[in-house]
């Protein structure tokens, strides 16, 4: 089909009217809601979060559609502690800043066996998730996370392909939005306390630097083999480090390690907040 044939189709007129509206609203505060509306009609997602990430600071939420009774689990827990183990957050930290990506493509190999999944993500009821990534400034990336529940809208291959095709457009629109509206968020973004300090200090004085790296990977859902690949060491070396760090922290399972880490996050947050 030629470009002329494509643009001559009746459905093309409706799409370009929607696109024109998004372009008009890109510099305005209404844009996140308008973008959410168009993405919902396109993909049929069940939930949306649009977060702004700056380095390893706590994300700043700029739009969501979570009802009040689900905000504590879906929003508050994520922004207070869970984001540190989020595959999307890890991807941004690793340099991913454009395109549409499924969570399953970015998650570690034992994601559904991780404590992050069992203590946070599973309660969201999501069966699939797609993130639209856009670098909107030198040190700022926005991710629009579209969630699909097991009992709701299903993410099909066709829908995923459509999201990937419009990702460059969404990226440009988010850049324009941030250019005109980012200033109102920047002070809040800069003020976000880096809960990353909890990771940096967890086990300090007790664990070696290598053991702290392994703790981070294990909590995020990496298997022994996956952690070994990430660190370019052998599986056996990871097992030895895991045994030693368990002994030094006085835990006997990964679940106990996760609970100990959450207690440490809470302690660091209290210290930072005075």
Alpha-carbon gap, residue 269 to 263, rounded angstroms: 10
155-211 pLDDT per residue, tens = 999 999 999 999 999 999 999 999 999 988 877 766 655 566 777 888 999 999 999
Total-model pTM: 0.85
120-150 pLDDT per residue, tens = 999 999 999 999 999 999 999 999 999 999 8
Alpha-carbon gap, residue 274 to 245, rounded angstroms: 30
Q: What is the DSSP letter of 76?
A: I
Torsion angles phi and psi, residue 146, rounded to 5:
-105, 120
Give me the residue label for tokens 């994601």: 111
Q: Average pLDDT, whole number, for the chain? A: 90
The number of C-alpha atoms within 13 Å of 202 and in the hemisphere containing its C-beta is: 28
Alpha-carbon gap, residue 258 to 261, rounded angstroms: 5
Give me the residue label for tokens 């947050």: 269
Question: Other C-beta atoms within 10 Å of 45: how many?
Answer: 26
| Burial of 149 from C-beta contacts in 10 A (0-12 / 13-18 / 19+) | middle
Confidence band of 116 (pLDDT split at 50, 70, 90): confident
48-101 pLDDT per residue, tens = 999 999 887 889 999 999 999 999 989 998 988 888 889 999 999 899 999 999
pLDDT, residue 57, reads 82
pLDDT, residue 106, reads 95
Alpha-carbon gap, residue 36 to 25, rounded angstroms: 12
């Amino acid at each position: 089909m030629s470009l002329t044939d494509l643009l001559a189709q009746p459905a093309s007129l409706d799409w370009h009217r929607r696109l024109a509206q998004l372009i008009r609203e890109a510099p305005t505060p209404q844009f996140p809601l308008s973008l959410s509306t168009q993405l919902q009609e396109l993909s049929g997602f069940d939930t949306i979060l649009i977060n702004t990430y700056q380095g390893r600071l706590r994300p700043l939420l700029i739009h969501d559609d979570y009802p009040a009774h689900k905000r504590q689990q879906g929003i508050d827990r994520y922004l207070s502690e869970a984001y540190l183990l989020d595959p999307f957050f890890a991807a941004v930290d690793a340099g991913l800043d454009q395109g549409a990506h499924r969570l399953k493509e970015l998650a570690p190999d034992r994601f559904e066996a991780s404590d992050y999944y069992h203590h946070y993500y599973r309660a969201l009821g999501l069966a699939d998730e797609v993130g639209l990534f856009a670098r909107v400034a030198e040190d700022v990336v926005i991710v629009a996370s579209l969630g699909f529940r097991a009992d709701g809208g299903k993410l099909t291959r066709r829908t995923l392909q459509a999201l990937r095709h419009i990702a460059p457009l969404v990226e440009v629109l988010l850049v324009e939005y941030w250019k005109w509206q980012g200033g109102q968020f920047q002070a809040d973004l800069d003020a976000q306390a880096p809960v990353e300090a909890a990771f940096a200090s967890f086990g300090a004085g007790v664990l070696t630097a290598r053991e702290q790296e392994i703790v981070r990977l294990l909590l995020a859902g990496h298997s022994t083999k996956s952690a070994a690949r990430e660190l370019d060491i052998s599986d056996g070396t990871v097992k030895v480090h895991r045994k030693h760090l368990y002994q030094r922290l006085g835990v006997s399972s990964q679940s106990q390690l996760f609970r100990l880490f959450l207690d440490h996050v809470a302690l660091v947050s209290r210290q930072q907040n005075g």
